[in-house]
Structure formats: structure tokens, C-alpha cells
Amino acid sequence: MIDTKETVTPVIGLEIHVELATATKLFCRCRNRFGDPPNTNVCPICIGMPGVLPVMNRKAVEYSMKVALALGCQVAAFTKWDRKNYYYPDLPKNYQISQYDLPLSSNGYLEVPLADGSAKKVRILRAHLEEDAGKNVHDKPGFTGVDLNRVGVPLLEVVSEPDMNSVEEVMGYARAMQRLVRWLGASEANMQMGHMRFEPNINLHIARGGVTYKTPIVEVKNLNSFRALERTVEYEIARQYAQWEADPDGYSMGKLQKQNRGYDDATQQTVFQRAKEEAHDYRYFPEPDLHPVVVDDEWRDEVAATIGELPLARRARYMETYELSFKHADALTQDAPTGDLLDEAVKGGAEPKRCVNLLLGRAAALANERNCTIAQIGITAGGLAELTKMLSAGDVNATASGKILEKMIAADDSPRQIAQAQGLLVVRDAGQIEVWVDEAIAANPQAAQDARAGGKKQKRAFGFLMGQVMQKSKGAADPARVKQLLQQKLGP
């Protein structure tokens, strides 16, 4: 527990590794695809066989530039590839092609919205491109397997400055980065597929009696979920404070080395792995088999032109122009195609708030069932606009609109055609509605009596009869006309 006698400031930087959504790997033509059988997407180039030569994937560089420009980074006119030498079972070459002293981009920032309505500006030190390593598989008793499918997959490493001072800021930054790379189409950023991994660097600055103590910096490696990131930062803040409290002078930066730790999900604790390597430990040297990357103004401008409106700007526009709540506007700016679907439907004549209710109601439920985004469930902007206009005109009710939307996914018919075929259009025929009203009253004499009598039971009884009429009409009766007829027949 942190003592109130001190001012304790966590100082946190975050390295985020983002797998890019290219069709092929960074330096060869092997498929970049998750879930294939182990060791099927490999070739002599990505596993570093003698005599082979890597060839750079232009699309990976462009995705990296796109993210960098969206972060306000300076994209270098000249950068090179370097060999980062280390041994690990899932790195068959014994070196990783990365970027050391001349990264592709540097000196940007990301605005992170916080719960109190303020924003935290987190500076980006650098964002460089490198190839991923493979994966050790520990699900076989007695031995460890090695899957090299991931070797050579393009990886963008975004390194922040240590600008974050709380768990909330770290989580806000991580989620904002996930949203950004998805928005730009640079990565699917699916945590379950390992598309994003986090490595926080954490220490504490503790002010006591006019002296500021700094605990040793700890880097926690390869966190593959937001939950693991959150628990890791919470645990490290508490652990480091407890160690400092036990030995304020001994447990300090300068007296102890930086260290790497891992996160144990079973115990929800971090565990020591090794002393942290420094740059000289990796024996970096320029990659002799690859040309440097030269980015001219024309190429940079071409990539910049593909960025478009960014999520925070679009969220603000939705709140101002469509008068959406923060919650709804935020939900519709999780990915660009879903927001595009809304914008195109509104251009087609849809009333924004009704359209949003459709998207965040039944459409969101269907997307959740299919584990995809709203834009991926298969509805078109034209169909969405037509359905919204039918709803606004009172041609269908809210219940029917959800059923129609679901049918739109599986059929090429228009919303109106589906409504007609399924008997979901609102019935305004006064004679037919009166028949349903009379049947409901006759079938429920006690409710009718309570509604006529007034008092505490009147409202509930009236609502019950309304429901019975709608049930008899299978939701097709015009609610306003039903209410009017019931009032006429049950009134004093």
C-alpha cells in the first residue's frame, strides 16, 4: 500500500508491436496469415538459408509511413536496415532484420482521451519497421514446438516516451493506438491473433522529505492482451513501491540494473527473466543484403493523401453535426468502414439518430455474434438508408426494422421488399386494427375492467392490452392507431 507521506509518480513508456496487414511477409513472398498449420508459410528466405537474398515489401513500408504520418511523425528521407543479433529457438537466422540508428520515422505524438474529458499527449520517440520472430509452442508435454509461420511477418514497433503516469493513461494510449492502426487499415490489431503486443517500461519517482527516489526501470515483455497490460502495470507499481519501501537507498536506479520481466497470467504477477540488454549487446550492423529506403516528397505525399479523416476528428464531427452522444459517437469511430457506412446512409437521406440506433442495436448484435465489425456483416449504405427512411415514415416499427435488417444480410431484396414478403409493414387499416383491439379486449376482460376503472392498475392494464393487440397483429399494427382505439373503447 502506498503511503500518503510520499508523492509517488509512476513513469511509464510503452513499446507497441503491430503486425501489419500485408498479404505477404516483409522480405519474401510467403503468406502473412494467422491460423495456418505450423511451418507451412516458410521459405529459404524467411528462415535465412545460405545464398538467399531478401527483397523488401513496399506495402509494408507504406503502411508504416501511413501510421507514422497519422501520428505526426517525421518520416525520414533516408533509412536503412540493420541486423539485430541474438539467439532464440524461434529465430532460425540468429538475427532479426530491424532498424537501429536510422528509423523510418520519429518525433510524433498521440492524443489520448481520458475519463474526465481531458486528453493526455503522449510523445512518440520512434516508429521503426522490422521482421517478426516465430513462436514457441508449449502445448505438448515433454517438449516445446517451434512454429516459424510468423517469422518475417512485417512488424511496426512504436516506441513512446515515458509520458504516462497512471494505469488509465497507459490503457487509453494502448486502445487509442489499436483504434488508429485499424482505422488506417494498417493492421487488423486482433489481440487473439497476436497482431498487437505490448512491452511497458515502468519505474516510480517517489518524493519524500525533499528527496526524489527513482526505482530501477523494468521492462515487461510480450504482453498479448489489454487485461495483461492493465494487470502488469498495476502489479509493477505496487511491487516496486513495496521493494523501495523496504530499502529506499538500495532499491534505486543507478545501483541496480534495468531488468526484463514476464507476466504470469496464472498468478497475475510479473517474474524476473534477465537483466535488460543494451544496444551493444545486440551487435547491430547494417544489413548487407538490402538497399536503404529512400522516401522522396512525392512518395510521402502519396501516402499522406490516403489517410483521410482520423477517428478523434470524426467523433467530434458526429457529436456536433449529428448531435450524437459521446458514447454513440465513440462506438461508431472504432473502425473507419462502420463510420463510412453511417455517413453514406445519411447522404442517402437517412435521419442520423435513427440510423445510429439501427447500427448500434441489431446490427451491433449481429456483428458481435459473428465476431466482426458492423461494416462487415453485409449491409449496404443504400439498404440502410432505405430502412431508416421507412422507420422514420412509420412504415415499419422498431421491432420489425431489426428483423428486416437481419434479412438484408442474407438476401439481395430491398428492405421494402423484405417487409412486404414477411408481412412486417405497419398496418394502418382502421377496420383491421379495430378487429384486433376488440379481440384483445374480449380475451382479457379483467385487464379491460382495470383500464376502465382508473386508479393504480389503469396504466399497467392499458399497456398490457396494447401489447396484446400488437401480439395479435404480429407487430404490424400502427401503435398510434391502436392507442387511439383503445382509449375510445375503454375511456369513461
Q: What is the CATH number of the domain that holds 486?
A: 1.10.10.410
281 by DSSP, 3-state: which? helix
Whether residue 378 sits in one domain with residue 276? no
Is there a single domain that holds both residue 192 and residue 318? no
**Residue 258 shares a structural domain with residue 357:** no
Separation CA 279–CA 357 (nearest Å): 53
pLDDT for position 117: 80
Q: What pLDDT, on a 0 to 100 scale, did the predictor assign at position 83?
A: 95
Residues 6+ away with beta carbon under 8 Å from 217: 201, 202, 203, 253, 258, 276
The strand pairing partners of 427, in sequence order, are 477
Integer Cα distance of 203 and 254 in angstroms? 13
pLDDT score at 475: 75
Q: What angle do CA 96, 77, 84 make, to 5 degrees?
A: 15
The answer to whether residue 453 is domain-embedded is yes
pLDDT recorded at residue 1:
53
Amino acid at 351: E
Q: Which residues contact 203 (CB under 8 A, 6 or more apart)?
A: 10, 11, 214, 215, 216, 217, 218, 240, 253
CA 101 – CA 123 distance, rounded (Å):
19
How many whole angstroms separate alpha carbon 233 and alpha carbon 467? 52
Q: Which of 422, 456, 477 is the last residue of a domain?
A: 422
Here the cell at position 33 is: 496469415
CA distance 436 to 18: 60
Q: How many domains does the chain have?
A: 3
Which grid cell is 237?
507499481
Do the beta carbons of residue 150 and residue 194 sit within 8 Å? yes
User: Look-up: residue for cell 508449449?
Assistant: 138
Say what angle helices 167-183 and 311-321 make with each other, to 10 degrees: 90
Tell me whether residue 405 is in a domain: yes
Do 58 and 20 contact (CB within 8 A), yes or no?
no
**Are 18 and 88 in a shared domain?**
yes
Q: In whole angstroms, what is the distance from residue 457 CA to residue 206 CA?
A: 64
Cell numbers linked to 160: 513512446
Final residue belonging to a domain, choices 404, 422, 440: 422
d(Cα 448, Cα 460) in Å, to the nearest integer? 11
Is 375 part of any domain?
yes
- Which grid coordinates belong to 226? 489489454
Q: Are residues 244 and 137 in the same domain?
A: yes
DSSP string, 202-254: EEEEEEETTEEEEPPPEEE--B-SHHHHHHHHHHHHHHHHHHHHH-TTTSSBT
Residues 189, 61 share a domain: yes
Digit-by-digit pLDDT tens for the chain (492 residues) are 555 567 999 999 999 999 999 999 999 999 999 999 999 999 999 998 999 999 999 999 999 999 999 999 999 999 999 999 988 888 999 999 999 999 999 999 999 988 888 889 999 999 999 999 999 888 888 888 999 999 999 999 999 999 999 999 999 999 999 999 999 999 999 998 999 999 999 999 999 988 999 999 999 999 999 999 999 999 999 999 999 999 998 999 888 889 999 999 999 999 998 877 676 788 999 999 999 999 999 999 999 999 999 998 999 999 999 999 999 999 999 999 999 999 999 999 999 999 999 999 999 999 999 988 999 999 999 999 999 999 998 888 888 899 999 999 888 899 999 998 888 888 777 888 888 888 988 999 888 888 888 777 888 888 898 889 888 887 778 888 888 888 888 875
Distance between CA 360 and CA 390 in Å, rounded? 18
In a domain, 160, yes or no: yes
Query: Both 268 and 124 in a single domain?
Result: yes
User: Dihedrals φ, ψ of 306, to 5°?
Assistant: -90, -5
Determine the Cα–Cα distance for residues 318 and 325; give it in Å rounded to an integer. 9
Which SS3 state, helix, strand or coil, does residue 489 take? Answer: helix
Nearest alpha carbon to residue 150 among 280, 231, 42: 42
Crossing angle for the helix pair 445-453 and 479-490, to the nearest 10 degrees: 70
Residue 50's CB is within 10 A of a number of other CB atoms, namely 5
Verify that 388 and 455 share a domain, yes or no: no
Residue 1 lies in a domain: no
Residue 402: partners with Cβ closer than 8 Å, 6 or more residues away: 358, 361, 362
- 381 located within any domain: yes
Measured CA to CA, the distance from residue 155 to residue 152 in angstroms comes to 8
Residue 262 is inside which H or E element, if any?
A: strand 259-264
Whether residues 151 and 223 share a domain: the answer is yes
How far apart CA 138 and CA 148 sit, in angstroms, is: 14
Beta pairing class for 259-264 and 269-275 = antiparallel
Supply the range of the domain harboring residue 166: 7-297
Terminal-to-terminal C-alpha distance of the chain: 68
**Would you say residue 249 lies in a domain?**
yes
Q: Do 408 and 387 touch, CB atoms closer than 8 A?
A: yes
In terms of domains, do 65 and 195 share one?
yes
One domain, residues 276 and 406: no
Indicate the residue among 422, 440, 468 that finishes a domain: 422
Is residue 302 included in any domain, yes or no?
A: no
Question: Grid coordinates standing for 479?
Answer: 401503435
Q: 65 and 165: one domain? A: yes
Cell numbers standing for residue 412: 439481395
pLDDT score for 5: 67
